[in-house]
């Protein structure tokens, strides 16, 4: 079964909009795990507009499943990850001030830098994953960095699927096949939802984990958080 890691950035966004501690980010993380979620993902950004660095520290004590911290490996982020020692770190090439992730790494151009960062995390017992587009050269480049996994950036698939174009998954299938051949674990995320997750999962060989936040939290407004988490789990079986 493909694991479901729930990104709780949007819970932090809602909390920060009013100040105080409602909703309680830590309680939501505990509840998601109690409902069956198999991991918690956060993506702290330098301006801390949703997840704060202190959240990352506080979550460490209450996550009993898998803890995944995503972000651009700048100095402050690297220091935070090494302090928190999550199960997995996902490296994302976010520009400062970006609303959301918009592209994968150029693993060829950034190979030396990524290799250095990945070695530091692995030396500290942290599994590494690199955010990549479904481009075969980028998958090959990822392998050369020594990363444990890749995370396929699925915005293009989700957009094409919403237009009724199921062939939009073809580049992801080819990328996954190559990753499997190279011995890279496969994660995926961005714009995956209840509408498209089953189709994606059924067509991607060796899919280990999906990280879903915006869609899941939005769907939970109508369906309830417990129900929504379990709807995803059923589709991922």
Give the alpha-carbon dihedral of 139, 144, 145, 146, to 10 degrees: 100
Alpha-carbon span 14 to 21, nearest angstrom: 10
List 50, 151, 190, 219, catalytic entry: 190
Task: Tell me if residue 43 is catalytic.
Answer: yes
Distance of CA 169 to the CA centre of its chain: 19
List 70, 151, 209, 219, catalytic entry: 70
Distance of CA 222 to the CA centre of its chain: 23
Task: Tell me if residue 70 is catalytic.
Answer: yes
List 43, 50, 66, 151, catalytic entry: 43
Alpha-carbon span 154 to 193, nearest angstrom: 11
Task: Tell me if residue 190 is catalytic.
Answer: yes
Please list the residues that pair with 97 across neighbouring strands.
Answer: none
So which residues are the catalytic ones? 43, 70, 190
């Amino acid at each position: 079964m493909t694991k479901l890691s729930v990104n709780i950035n949007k819970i932090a966004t809602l909390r920060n909009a009013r100040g105080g501690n409602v909703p309680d980010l830590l309680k939501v993380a505990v509840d998601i795990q109690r409902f069956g979620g198999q991991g918690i993902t956060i993506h702290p950004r330098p301006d801390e507009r949703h997840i704060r660095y202190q959240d990352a520290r506080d979550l460490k004590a209450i996550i009993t499943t898998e803890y995944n911290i995503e972000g651009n490996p700048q100095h402050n982020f690297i220091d935070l990850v090494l302090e928190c020692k999550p199960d997995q770190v996902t490296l994302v090439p976010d520009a400062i001030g970006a609303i959301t992730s918009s592209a994968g790494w150029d693993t060829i151009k950034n190979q030396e830098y990524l290799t250095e960062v990945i070695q530091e995390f692995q030396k500290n017992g942290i599994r590494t994953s690199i955010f990549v587009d479904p481009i075969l050269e980028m998958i090959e480049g990822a392998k050369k960095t020594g990363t444990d996994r890749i995370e396929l950036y699925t915005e293009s698939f989700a957009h094409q699927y919403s237009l009724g174009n199921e062939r939009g998954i073809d580049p992801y299938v080819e990328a996954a096949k190559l990753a499997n051949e190279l011995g890279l674990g496969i994660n995926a995320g961005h714009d995956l939802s209840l509408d498209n997750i089953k189709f994606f999962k059924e067509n991607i060989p060796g899919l280990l984990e999906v990280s879903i936040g915006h869609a899941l939290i939005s769907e939970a407004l109508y369906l309830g958080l417990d129900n929504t988490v379990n709807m995803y789990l059923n589709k991922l079986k």
